Amino acid sequence: MDKDKRSLVLGIETTCDETAASVVERAADGSGRILSNIVRSQTEEHAAYGGVVPEIAARAHVDLLDGIVASAMKEAGLEFAQLSGVAAAAGPGLIGGVIVGLTTAKAIAMVHGTPLIAVNHLEAHALTPRLTCALAFPYCLFLASGGHTQIVAVAGVGNYVRLGTTLDDAIGEASDKVAKMLGLPYPGGPQVERAAAGGDPMRFDFPRPMLGRGDANFSLSGLKTAVRNEASRLTPLDARAISDLCAGFQAAVLESVADRLKVGIKLFNEKFGPPRALVAAGGVAANQAIRGALQDVAAAAQTTLIIPPPQLCTDNGAMIAWAGAERLALGMTDQMDAPPRARWLLDANATAPAKFANTRAGF
């Protein structure tokens, strides 16, 4: 596509438990505008199980996606023939859901003769700040969600260097597991944050994983085990104990995040010079306590903290559409045999920790 031409891209997101579609406009100057952004969460469908059930998620995507795409197109005031491209999250994620979204995008692209863009879900998170505030490269990304915890140097479209990753649990995953062991409802992350607000973070001496290490990797499994051990010792748990356990867990996470990001930014500086910004993305970025810790890290690094609006931090179609538009502007399109991927490295030169060999995290 002519890089100076305005583009209109439909984006489809089905990698986990949000069924989403959006239409985004990318102007000739590289600025973006969201014309529609429809998201249907499946929280109620999975709440009884305390987590996402892949088979239920895939069936829900099948039932919901056509209607959500139609709503996104109607809200944008467009016909399919007017689209410049159709983008879908082709991974990493729960493979059943990924297949639903990618197959739908392929069908639309094939029928209307429109270019297909198979988007890496992690790249979509990485490029979102260029939609919201036209951020220039390079910048440092802290991506933290239910399935992902990474520090990434974003050097350009398709050019990513992973500076750090979790060696076991992601922050969101660990939060959900802590919530479940404490009897808090799903989704657990917001429940832990809410309980922590009224708790004493000093009551328990929880470990601060990886503190002081020269690499920028994370580890949460030991902390999660420490919470479980204390919870078992105190059973039956009262409201005060639950609040204090959550507060102690959150304090340990905050200290670990701050330390790991300081190392990550140091590594960024060594490779690329000072980052134009520290960007936070993923559902964990909605946690107010973590936002405060990130603000302190950015201030110490003398850079700006950028966090997209909450509705663009969690999974959504607009980020997929925008990543598709960015790639389309550079002529980066895909053929109809583009595969769905349960795993998909953002940094092609990185390796996945052993834990993720058979999971959706796909680092």
pLDDT tens per residue across span 68-100: 999 999 999 999 999 999 999 999 999 999 999
| Total number of domains in the chain | 2
The rounded distance, in Å, linking the Cα atoms of 245 and 200 is 8
Domain contains 354: no
Burial class (CB in 10 A: 0-12, 13-18, 19+), 337: exposed
Asked if pLDDT for residue 2 goes beyond 90, the answer is no
Domain boundary among 264, 283, 309: 309
Domain boundary among 292, 309, 326: 309
Whether residues 106 and 172 share a domain: the answer is no
Asked if pLDDT for residue 323 goes beyond 70, the answer is yes
Q: Quick one: pLDDT band at residue 361, thresholds 50, 70, 90?
A: very low
Range of the domain at 234: 139-309
The rounded distance, in Å, linking the Cα atoms of 180 and 117 is 38
| Ramachandran angles phi, psi of 168, nearest 5° | -150, -105
* Crossing angle of the two packed helices 239-272 and 171-181, in degrees rounded to 10: 170
Residue spans of alpha helices (H) in 14-158: 43-47, 54-76, 95-112, 121-133
Domain contains 30: yes
Among 4-8, 215-219, 274-278, the least confident range? 4-8
| Cα-based distances in Å from 41 to 60, 311, 330, 340 | 10, 12, 32, 21
The per-residue pLDDT for range 235-266, each reduced to its tens digit, is 999 999 999 999 999 999 999 999 999 999 99
Domain contains 267: yes
Q: What is the CA radius of gyration of the chain?
A: 20
Domain contains 352: no
Whether residues 339 and 269 share a domain: the answer is no
Whether residues 77 and 123 share a domain: the answer is yes
- The predicted model gives 107-120 an average pLDDT of 98
Asked if pLDDT for residue 359 goes beyond 50, the answer is no
Asked if pLDDT for residue 310 goes beyond 60, the answer is yes
Whether residues 174 and 236 share a domain: the answer is yes
Domain boundary among 309, 325, 353: 309
Whether residues 84 and 106 share a domain: the answer is yes
Q: Find the helix or strand (DSSP H, E) in which 269 lies.
A: helix 239-272
Cβ within 8 Å of residue 150, ≥6 positions away: 122, 141, 142, 143, 144, 162, 164, 165, 166, 346, 363
| Cα-based distances in Å from 218 to 173, 206, 228, 351 | 13, 15, 19, 15
Domain contains 124: yes
User: What dihedral angle (degrees, nearest 10) is formed by the CA atoms of 268, 307, 190, 170?
Assistant: -20
Asked if pLDDT for residue 284 goes beyond 50, the answer is yes
Whether residues 127 and 143 share a domain: the answer is no
Asked if pLDDT for residue 155 goes beyond 70, the answer is yes
Domain contains 356: no
| Ramachandran angles phi, psi of 12, nearest 5° | -125, 130
Whether residues 36 and 178 share a domain: the answer is no
Contact status, residue 143 vs residue 170, Cβ threshold 8 Å: no
**Which CATH number covers residue 73?**
3.30.420.40
Whether residues 329 and 207 share a domain: the answer is no
The mean pLDDT value of the chain amounts to 93
Whether residues 297 and 163 share a domain: the answer is yes
Domain contains 83: yes
Whether residues 124 and 145 share a domain: the answer is no
Whether residues 216 and 282 share a domain: the answer is yes
Whether residues 331 and 204 share a domain: the answer is no
Burial class (CB in 10 A: 0-12, 13-18, 19+), 30: middle
| Cα-based distances in Å from 52 to 111, 317, 341 | 33, 19, 18
| Cα-based distances in Å from 125 to 122, 280, 309 | 5, 9, 12
The per-residue pLDDT for range 199-243, each reduced to its tens digit, is 999 999 999 999 999 999 999 999 999 999 999 999 999 999 999
Structure tokens at 218: 């994370």
Res 44: pLDDT: 84
Domain contains 239: yes
| Cα-based distances in Å from 43 to 48, 131, 186, 273 | 9, 27, 8, 41
Longest alpha-carbon distance in the chain: 65
Omega of the bond prior to 236 within 30 degrees of 0, cis? yes
Asked if pLDDT for residue 147 goes beyond 90, the answer is no
Asked if pLDDT for residue 356 goes beyond 50, the answer is no
